[in-house]
A and B are shown apart, each in its own frame.
Chain A
Amino acid sequence: MGLIEKELPPGVLTTTIDTVINYSKKYSIWPMTFGIACCAIEMILATSPRFDLARFGAEVFRATPRQADLMIIAGTVNHKMAQNVRLLYDQMPEHKKVIAMGSCAISGGPYAGTYNVVQGVDLIIPVDVYVPGCPPRPEALLEGFIKLQELIAQESMAKV
């Protein structure tokens, strides 16, 4: 970088396309308006002024899967719900990400080994970030967001 920048006029920086695209991607994550159970309350709280998800560029909760890049599974997924979760996931455009929030979405939680609850939403759809807790505090969800941004920053257009 140093060698080229000496040849350029002041105020011009060089970078890679990956960095620019990943930078814009990670600060414009649009989650889907989609809460299943009690974890959704904490998810809603994370967008409130006290915790302010908007600091990370993710305040625009979209009401349709076709405009969303991120699905937050906030709650218990039972078998009747699972097919709808899958349907919504399939409707989302690439590049889509999933956060599994709370013990129920991660492994069934208190409903582990029961007949009607999916034993971890990662059996239905691929999950990128797991946020443990029952329910997790909004700070934990924000931490999950930052981890997701770190994941996005590592991506490369050449690989995808």
Chain B
Amino acid sequence: MADQSTYSNTTDILETRIKELVRDIKSVEIDRDRVKDYICLLVNPDDLLRVMETIANWDEIPMNYLRCITGIDQLTHLEVVYIFASIPGPGGLAVVARCPRKDGVLPSVYGIWETADFQERETYEFFGVKFDGHPDLRRLLTHEEMRGFPLLKDYPKGGDPDDLKAMDAFLPEGWLEQMQIEKERLQNWLQDEIAKRTET
């Protein structure tokens, strides 16, 4: 079993540090009810970099491990969530930054945690948030020719037709139509065959 006393002690330190942070930067709000066992800090995008630099350099429990960056589409605005852990101390800290749904810009935290490189690229390609100061903001997992941001809730189900057309541009002219006809022919053949075999 883990050393219970050390854990509760570092949790106390975390509470103290958060109190200091809220005292220094007035715009930070604390939300404890959003996720169980997590303390969420709602941060104004203008103060984001200041908050990040502060928590990365906290005494005793520096948040030196950026676990994950992801986004949430709240329909009225986007939320970019940074989840942290501290190697010597406890985890359970999340920073939430709000930005507009279209053409949102946030400062990049690549200068503080280098692991943000791929995670910011991923958040960019799925939600369209631009990270100002990122060294190489390209799409990471999806096709280079894609223009839409697929994890936004208004992205068409089954893919944007324009995106699909751009991604299939490597195929020869008329190939897809031909293959679709061939596929239908196969399916008809299969149905006939099933009907024939069930009769006998």
Cα A120 to Cα B160 with chains together (Å) = 18
Return the contact of B158 from the options A113, A120, A124 (Cβ within 8 A). A113
Report B145 CB to chain A, min CB distance, Å. 9
Residue of A nearest to B186 (CB): A122
Residue of A nearest to B190 (CB): A130
Return the contact of B141 from the options A80, A113, A122, A126 (Cβ within 8 A). A80
Q: Is B180 an interface residue, CB under 8 A from the partner? A: yes
Residue of B nearest to A79 (CB): B167
Q: Is A123 an interface residue, CB under 8 A from the partner? A: yes
Q: Is A66 an interface residue, CB under 8 A from the partner? A: no
Return the contact of A79 from the options B143, B158, B179, B180 (Cβ within 8 A). B143
Main secondary structure of the interface of B (DSSP, over half): loop
Report A123 CB to chain B, min CB distance, Å. 5
Return the contact of B183 from the options A83, A116, A122 (Cβ within 8 A). A122
- On chain A, the number of residues with a Cβ less than 8 Å from chain B's Cβ atoms is 14
Enumerate chain B residues within 8 angstroms of A120, measured Cβ to Cβ: 183
Given contacts A80-B142, A86-B170, A124-B171, contact A115 B183 (CB under 8 A): no
Cα A113 to Cα B144 with chains together (Å) = 20
Return the contact of B157 from the options A79, A82, A86, A113 (Cβ within 8 A). A113
Cα A21 to Cα B15 with chains together (Å) = 79
Enumerate chain A residues within 8 angstroms of B143, measured Cβ to Cβ: 79-80, 116
Cα A120 to Cα B186 with chains together (Å) = 13
Asked whether, in the complex, the Cβ of A123 is within 8 Å of the Cβ of B167, the reply is: no
Enumerate chain A residues within 8 angstroms of B170, measured Cβ to Cβ: 82-83, 86
Asked whether, in the complex, the Cβ of B142 is within 8 Å of the Cβ of A123, the reply is: no
Which 5 residue pairs of A and B lie closest in terms of their CB atoms, listed nearest first?
Answer: A115-B159, A79-B167, A83-B170, A80-B143, A79-B143
Besides A79-B164, A115-B160, A116-B150, 15 other A-B contacts (C-beta < 8 A): A79-B146, A79-B167, A80-B142, A80-B144, A82-B168, A83-B170, A86-B170, A113-B157, A115-B150, A115-B155, A115-B163, A120-B183, A123-B179, A123-B180, A124-B179
